[in-house]
Amino acid sequence: MSSKEVADTSSGSCHDQVIFELDELSKQGLNPKAKFLIAVDPNGNGGETHSFVFYQEDSKLYWFENAWKDYRGIHEFDTEHELLDFVLDAFADRNPGKEVFVGAFIPEEHHIGEDLQTLVDICMDNAVQA
């Protein structure tokens, strides 16, 4: 979905919401970044995915989360390492027995209406095992 569609419908996948959040935070003069996560079973099959946004303001980093209900809100961290460790641990806890991969979510690499498999394929191009 486009950012406008997310705003108009107050809905969208976590990936759709990331595009919206990046747009809105950028309008506020922040320099937000996004990451993509996927849990992969021992046979190499992808499972749950999640994308999320974070930004730095002054000397703190903030994880801005809306789609993941258990963590909805803005969460403050001292370092990017601390932020990523927290999010990755929470995602791994939801996906026991699976390997977690993390990659950059670069909005310019995606297009409105792309299916989940295409999104995953694009994000996996730069993903590494967490």
What's the half-sphere exposure (Cβ side, CA atoms, 13 Å) at 110? 27
**What is this structure's pTM?**
0.90
To the nearest 10°, report the CA torsion of 37, 83, 13, 39.
20
pLDDT tens-digit map of 4-23: 777 777 877 878 889 989 99
Tally of structural domains, the chain: 1
CATH classification at residue 78: 3.10.670
- Count CB-CB contacts under 10 A for residue 25: 19
Rounded Cα distance, 34 and 104, in Å: 6
Domain residues for the domain of 8 are 3-129
| pLDDT for the residue numbered 67 | 87
Output the average pLDDT for the chain: 92
Question: Which amino acid, one-letter code, is at 29?
Answer: G
